[in-house]
Structure 1
Amino acid sequence: MIQTGWQPALWFVTLVAPVLLFILPGLALLRLWRGAAALTFLEQVALALGIGLALYPVLLLWADLFGLKPGPLLVWSIPLLSLPLLGWTFVRQNPPIERAAWRSRESGGNGWPLVTGYFVVVALLGVRLHTITGLSVPLWGDSLHHTMITQLMVEQGGLFSSWQPYANLETMTYHFGFHSQIAAMIWLTGLEAPEAVLIGGQLANAAAVFTLYPLALHLGRSRWAGVVALLVAGLLAPMPMFYVNWGRYTQLAGQIILPVAITCLWFYLASHEHAKALLGLTILSMAGLFLTHYRVIIFAVCFVPAYLLVSGTWSMWRTLGLRLLLVGTGVGVLVAPWVMRMLESLLFPLLSAIVAASASGGANAIRAETINNAVGHPFSYLPVLIWYGMLIVVFWALWRRERAVLVVALWWLGALLVVNPQRLGLPGAGTITNFALFIAAYIPAALLLGAAAGWLLRRFRAPVVPAGVALILGSLSLWGISLRTHDLDTVNFALVMPEDRTAMAWIETHTPQEARFLVNGYFHNETSLLGSDAGWWIPLLAHRQTTLPPMIYVAEQGSQPNYAQWVNELYATMNDQGLDHPETLNLLHERDISYVYIGQRQGLVGIPNPSRVLDPEVLSDSPHFTLLYHEDQVWIFAVQPDE
């Protein structure tokens, strides 16, 4: 359990582990491409991080295909194999970084942007780790299934199908890149799953900013462009920092790999020769991205038409088409086993239902667009000045004919159209939500503003300018730190409190292993439920079953036909009839529900109707329930047997 305050040993382990697990293997693979030596040190490290993260889900998928469960062997063998490979690349290609990469790209030298860049990286990483020092469990709904999948991967040594003993689900077709990476951290460090997901999620939060650096430098042709991109995404914008409140770690993991995959693809398409190693890196990063997040890979695909439209010429289209075909074929081969497995789940029928609803017209189509695909307030994703800054940069790029910047602008415009196909008269609104896109808006914002800053600062030649810019960016970083320290919102998003952890220990020692708990939950939409206090976490923290599976139960096959409807039936009956109604009591007895848990948050986290929570007063007054445990706001009742 994480304790409030600085723990040097814990943080040292969690900072060193990603270097060994991800950066070292990624760097060894990156160095197989001769062009990597022309990149700066920070570019190489950022690209290596994304490549290393993409490696683990691909390896675990193919290990599973051959019936292998490598477990801890994987995390020890990959770094050990990477060391001689990396050494060989250094011997083959000396120096590891060419003089051109060290040579000054800035009018005032490289010292100021390097120092400022390192300061921003330390600041954005530090503020992310500092905010979670008082937490023991990651926040809100997504965190539960992320932790559960990670725990199952750790226990089984790789991929799995059955979610037992934590949930009654029999397929696992959820994108698993983040979970494979956190499982690797656990195999190496011995952290507990909730702790590892929490810390690893914040490391991913910082990494999703850091991997923007190479692409920003490429766009702005200046180290300052990379520094400004890090500052905007890492400290000035609320996203992705705010993801910590949702536990939206898989999208973060995808957005670590996304800019790396795009950078590799961009370099490959633009190269004058057929670089086989670069092709391999592009295929690996794209395949890893697919396995890490299904929506983010669609964002990546949107880059292709933007690049062809701006940078492609008729004379190049044959070459570009062949290279894209090679990339697509390679990615398809690597992810084919997982696509076949996805057919086992309810994911495709669920997506088909969304598309059908949006295409049907009338009320269903309106609901798909206005509810499932609502945008929300744009200034909650990015500050108003950053939105206006993006618009100004786009007009500047049009005026200056900055092709690379226009590619990025069209890339995200294309993504916006894909998310809103109804604007083109096509069905599918809500398949990918505007919310998922807009919380990623920090990516184009950082890239566009960084590119403009790089162009602008190249125009100033006075020796005093770099020092002044460093001072300004450093001051903005300090201001950004003060902003980001307020992003954590435990009041609205924390399900598990210290009082709940005490109750979990009581449950483990005072209830039988076959005990099954009724817990607080509410309908997030017409077909799926979410938990609203710590009861949702009982399977992981107290190792007992509950009435509420993780939120992705609607997309997986359950232990019985129509499992999702079976789960929903109990809560629909409670909402309609009340907990003490004979029909509800009959369902409790039929399903062998022997206990009721009310958490410290009283079932009020995220719930739209506070009157539909488990009420301890109702249970205390009912002859059908017996109070067993009461500390602060945590209540545990026994369900009396049916007479």
Structure 2
Amino acid sequence: MLSNPAAQHPLVALSAGRRWLLSGLLLAAIVAWLPAGRVLLATGLWLIAPGYLLERSMPGPRPPWLLRVTLWVGISLSLVPLGYLWVTAVGGSLPAPVLIISAILLALAASWAAWRDLAGVQGQPSAATWLLMIVLAIGAWLRAEQIADLALPAWVDSVHHALMVRVAVETGRAPWTLTPYLPVVEMPYHWGYHVVIAAAWHLSGGALPDVMLWSGQLLNWLQNVAAAALALLWWRRPSAAVVAAAIVGCISWMPAYYVSWGRYTQLTGLLLLAALAIAWQQWLDSTHRRERTGWLALAALIAAGLSLVHMRIFVFGGALLAAQSIVWSLRQSRRTIIAHVAQALLAGIAAVALAGPWWWLLLRRVLVPAAAGAQSLTTGGSYAQLNYDLMWIGPNEWLVALALISGAIGVARRQAATAVLMLWVGGLAVLTNPWLVSYLAPPAGLALLIYSLTQRKWLWSGVGVLLLAINPATVRLPFLWLLPVDIAAISLFLPLSSLISGGVALIWPAQRRWWQIGGTAVLLGLALWGANQQRAIVNPITVLATAADREAIAWVAGNTDPTARFLINAAPWLPGVARGNDGGWWIMPLTGRWTSTPPALFVYGDAASVQATRQRSQQIIDYGNGQAIDLERLIATEQIDYIYTSPKGPLRPELFASRPGYEVAFAEGGVVIYRVAPDRR
């Protein structure tokens, strides 16, 4: 009698799902030997494990795996900041040992849960899944290639993100207070991203710039997964998910271009937005009470986390939920709608309560001063205008055209997904351009007035008259500083990819083999072409620091007193806020030393310190513009110990080379740090 081959080979007897799990764990063990691999694994653990363990406990059937992965990320990005929030609120902290032990327990629990969940998974992935994996792999290679030449994260946001991560690591708390580095207390600036990266830094070790760069590209790559999940949510077709992933990962310049700005908080917020949309749609579509309750609770949790990560995307998420709810309500009875509205209000209250300490801080630091007239929530000028270079960056003209064509196809075929996406984009346009309300309200009022008169519903006639009164001649709505139009423009890759992928899925004859082969070849060709175009996507103008700057900062950390004070280069940025223009600006977040131009978060300090910082930076800027500035007096007044010079700024090496009292302490790659003699300060 023949023996059973499976009995002789235990690995063969395992389910396909368990074999995939073991392969993944083996790959993780190999990757962990690399510094970048440790960053990716540590960040991935915090992004996946908490959400997976919570989501798998939900009642009812599970959605497709793409939606589940996006939900895991969104839930995790909510749980970690909420943990920091409440620990901070009660006066506690999360030191490194607690985080490391928590991470080990999470890894063990998630591995054991996955082992059990994958026991019954058999068979091989479908052709669409393999194609999606190839597209995601191209996107992963591209994200790694894009940061290959960066010594430090780019541009302005990265500098203050690094300082906030440093504070979160050192205190084990939410970085509301930036002392002793800056005189900033109870800062109303979103911080959810920073505590997640702080937790990852505790696990991975290494240098903070590397942690930020690699974790940032992981967040950027996950946008491909989120876009694929949203396309699958709207269209229910795997081909739509593949097309959306290819567009966001390889063809559209957004969000890949975010690396040029260090816009990591918005990336994180958009991942939460995708998870929130999925949970909300699952709630709307659920038919069993227990399932509805679970999904609504999950949506409230994710909404609370989103308010900690990025308030602008929180508002954009509200617009998406409104669009989903409006389209859903068109097919529901009045009784069902009223019941859901009541439940949604309760979920909103729960979300605010979950993030209660943060909302209370915002109320005290932002809303109350605005109500008292001490500060304004409105803005104007260039800040409120659309930057057309951003709107039409890369292939955006083609993407917008394709999205409009796909939208027309969806409307012709009466697709609810098309209505949701178009309503969402319209909502974003109105939120970031409030003046549109005065033009949209009169036509809506006229239509409502005609309806009320013909149907004899007199209550609605009053609403129609009110809307008619809101017109450009009577109402002028201001722009809000929270919602600049550029933020919406650089977020359009999500609705655009969903619309285009839906149009392709609606018209593509998927049953014909040769069409499948041809479509696959075209899609992969476009993905590779787009990836090649984006390899050098980092804008050189936004690259402030070089490898020489990084060496100089390492020297500062190891060879200067922690209380040393540095005079560094400065350049104009936003009104009233200067920025650094070389690696000297990174001295404070990476070494803790004082710099004459600090990270931009100094604006949240008291009025006197803000004014002093502005004047100090302006003197360096004025000096670079040729004005007569007494640098000797500035150095003495500010008790400067070192001067960080480079070829990029007003403070150039040759300026101090021949002056007595200035000794070269470090010189490498054009960066020269001068030590100031005691009699000069």
For normalisation by structure 1, the TM-score amounts to 0.86
Give the aligned length: 603
Match of 2:171 in 1: 156
Match of 1:374 in 2: 386
Residue 562 of structure 1: SS of its match in structure 2? helix
Contact 1:171 1:557 in 2 (8 A): no
1:342 equivalent in alignment to 2:351: no
Contact 1:596 1:639 in 2 (8 A): yes
Q: What root-mean-square deviation, in Å, do the aligned CA atoms of Structure 1 and Structure 2 show?
A: 3.1
Residue 140 of structure 1: SS of its match in structure 2? coil
- TM-aligned CA distance change 1:209 to 1:74, over 3 Å: same
How far apart, in 1, do the equivalents of 2:222 and 2:175 lie? 27
How far apart, in 1, do the equivalents of 2:237 and 2:536 lie? 32
Match of 1:564 in 2: 610
Residue 635 of structure 1: SS of its match in structure 2? strand
How far apart, in 1, do the equivalents of 2:382 and 2:590 lie? 38
Give the drift of 1:430.
4.1
How far apart, in 1, do the equivalents of 2:575 and 2:639 lie? 26
1:282 equivalent in alignment to 2:307: no
Contact 1:23 1:49 in 2 (8 A): yes
Amino acid of the structure 1 residue aligned with 2:93: K
Give the drift of 1:541.
3.6
Match of 2:46 in 1: 21
* Greater displacement, 617-626 / 24-33: 617-626
Match of 2:515 in 1: 465
Residue 211 of structure 1: SS of its match in structure 2? helix
1:331 equivalent in alignment to 2:321: no
Deviations 1:457-479 (A, max 9, x none): 3x442233333322222222222
Give the drift of 1:178.
1.3
* Greater displacement, 138-147 / 540-549: 540-549
Residue 644 of structure 2: SS of its match in structure 1? strand
User: Could you list the runs of 5+ residues in structure 2 that have no partner in the other structure?
Assistant: 1-30, 438-475
Contact 1:221 1:455 in 2 (8 A): no
Contact 2:619 2:629 in 1 (8 A): no
Residue 549 of structure 1: SS of its match in structure 2? coil
Deviations 1:561-595 (A, max 9, x none): 43221111123344456799576544442322232
Match of 1:362 in 2: none
Match of 1:526 in 2: 575
Report % sequence identity: 27
How far apart, in 1, do the equivalents of 2:234 and 2:420 lie? 10
- TM-aligned CA distance change 1:592 to 1:219, over 3 Å: same
Contact 1:173 1:345 in 2 (8 A): yes
How far apart, in 1, do the equivalents of 2:36 and 2:662 lie? 45
Give the drift of 1:384.
1.6
Contact 1:626 1:639 in 2 (8 A): yes
1:591 equivalent in alignment to 2:606: no
How far apart, in 2, do the equivalents of 1:325 and 1:47 lie? 22
Match of 1:549 in 2: 598
How far apart, in 2, do the equivalents of 1:615 and 1:577 lie? 11
Deviations 1:344-363 (A, max 9, x none): 656975897885665xxxxx
Give the drift of 1:492.
1.6
- TM-aligned CA distance change 1:192 to 1:478, over 3 Å: same
Match of 1:497 in 2: 546
Residue 614 of structure 1: SS of its match in structure 2? coil
Pick aligned residue for 1:169 from 168, 184, 200: 184
Contact 1:139 1:494 in 2 (8 A): yes
Amino acid of the structure 1 residue aligned with 2:264: Y
Residue 636 of structure 1: SS of its match in structure 2? strand
Residue 513 of structure 1: SS of its match in structure 2? coil
Match of 1:403 in 2: 416
Pick aligned residue for 2:488 from 417, 434, 437: 437
Contact 2:567 2:595 in 1 (8 A): yes
For normalisation by structure 2, the TM-score amounts to 0.81
Match of 2:444 in 1: none
- TM-aligned CA distance change 1:79 to 1:301, over 3 Å: farther
- TM-aligned CA distance change 1:512 to 1:473, over 3 Å: same
Matches within 5 A, 1:621-640: 628-639=665-676
User: Could you list the runs of 5+ residues in structure 1 that have no partner in the other structure?
Assistant: 1-5, 103-108, 359-367, 604-612
- TM-aligned CA distance change 1:501 to 1:85, over 3 Å: closer
Match of 2:320 in 1: 303
- TM-aligned CA distance change 1:89 to 1:242, over 3 Å: closer
Residue 432 of structure 1: SS of its match in structure 2? coil
Deviations 1:236-260 (A, max 9, x none): 0011111111111110111111111
- TM-aligned CA distance change 1:549 to 1:586, over 3 Å: same
Residue 156 of structure 2: SS of its match in structure 1? helix
How far apart, in 2, do the equivalents of 1:82 and 1:180 lie? 19
* Greater displacement, 57-66 / 460-469: 460-469
Pick aligned residue for 1:475 from 513, 525, 528: 525
Contact 1:520 1:533 in 2 (8 A): yes
Match of 2:431 in 1: 418
Match of 2:105 in 1: 80
1:181 equivalent in alignment to 2:196: yes
- TM-aligned CA distance change 1:8 to 1:448, over 3 Å: farther
1:61 equivalent in alignment to 2:81: no
* Greater displacement, 14-23 / 255-264: 14-23
Residue 57 of structure 2: SS of its match in structure 1? coil
Residue 380 of structure 1: SS of its match in structure 2? coil
Residue 597 of structure 1: SS of its match in structure 2? strand
- TM-aligned CA distance change 1:626 to 1:389, over 3 Å: same
How far apart, in 1, do the equivalents of 2:261 and 2:618 lie? 25
